[in-house]
Amino acid sequence: MQGDGEVLFLGGVGEVAVTLGHDGLSFLPLHPELGSSCLSSIGLLPKLENKIKFSDVYAVELLDEGPVCGPWNTRIVAQGKKNSEMHRFAVHVITRSRKHPSQLVPCEYLFGHKDPETCKSWVEHLSACINNEQDRPKNLMVVFVHPLCGKGRGCKNWEMVAPLFDRAKVNTKVIITERAGHAYDTLASISDKELKKFDGVVAVGGDGLFNEILNGLLNSRNKISYPPTPEGFGYFGSTEKCQGCRNDGLNNSTATSDAVNVMLRVGSNKSDDHEPLLSTGKSVVGLDISSLNPNTESSTGDQVPPVFFPNDWFRLGIIPSGSTDAIVLSTTGERDAVTSALLIIFGRRIALDIAQVVRWKSSPSAEVLPTVRYAASFAGYGFYGEVIRESENYRWMGPARYDFSGTMVFLKHRSYDAKVAFLENENSHSFAASAENVADEVQPLQSRRKRSRKTICQANCSVCKETSTPGQNSEDEIPNSSQTIHNNPKWIWSEGRFLSVGAAVISCRNERAPDGLVAEAHLSDGFLHLLLIRDCPLPLYLWHLTQFTKKGSDPLTFKFVEHHKTRAFTFISSHDESVWNLDGELFQACEVSVQACRGLVNLFASGPEV
Residues with catalytic roles: 207
Residue 429, number of CB atoms within 10 A of its CB: 11
Question: Got the DSSP string for 46-86?
Answer: SS--SEEEGGGEEEEEEEEEEE-B-GGGPBP-GGG-SS-EE
In this structure, what are the phi and psi dihedrals at residue 302, rounded to the nearest 5 degrees? Answer: -80, 140
- The radius of gyration computed from the CA coordinates of the chain, to the nearest angstrom, equals 27
Asked if 161 and 341 count as a contact pair (C-beta separation under 8 A), the reply is yes
Q: How far apart are CA 561 and CA 533, in angstroms?
A: 5
Q: How far apart are CA 187 and CA 174, in angstroms?
A: 14
- The separation between CA 11 and the C-alpha centre of its own chain, rounded to angstroms, equals 38
Nearest to 461 by CA among 330, 324, 345: 330
Q: CA of 369: how far to CAs of 234, 261, 379, 597, in Å? A: 13, 11, 20, 21
Backbone torsion region of residue 6, taken as left when φ is above 0, otherwise alpha when ψ lies between -120 and 50, otherwise beta: beta
Q: How far apart are CA 96 and CA 104, in angstroms?
A: 5
Q: CA of 457: how far to CAs of 120, 348, 514, 562, in Å? A: 44, 16, 14, 22
Residues 6+ apart with CB under 8 A from 68: 9, 10, 11, 75, 76, 84, 86, 88, 110, 111, 112
In angstroms, the first-to-last Cα distance of the chain is 39
Q: Is the peptide bond before 310 cis (omega within 30 degrees of 0)?
A: yes
In this structure, what are the phi and psi dihedrals at residue 62, rounded to the nearest 5 degrees? Answer: -85, 125
Report the interhelical angle of 400-412 vs 538-547 (nearest 10°): 150
**Beta strands 139-145 and 171-176, pairing class:** parallel
Q: How far apart are CA 49 and CA 263, in angstroms?
A: 53
Asked if 394 and 515 count as a contact pair (C-beta separation under 8 A), the reply is no
Question: Got the DSSP string for 184-207?
Answer: HHHHHHS-HHHHTT-SEEEEEE-H
Residue 44, number of CB atoms within 10 A of its CB: 11
Asked if 594 and 207 count as a contact pair (C-beta separation under 8 A), the reply is no
Q: How far apart are CA 144 and CA 173, in angstroms?
A: 9
Q: How far apart are CA 80 and CA 76, in angstroms?
A: 10
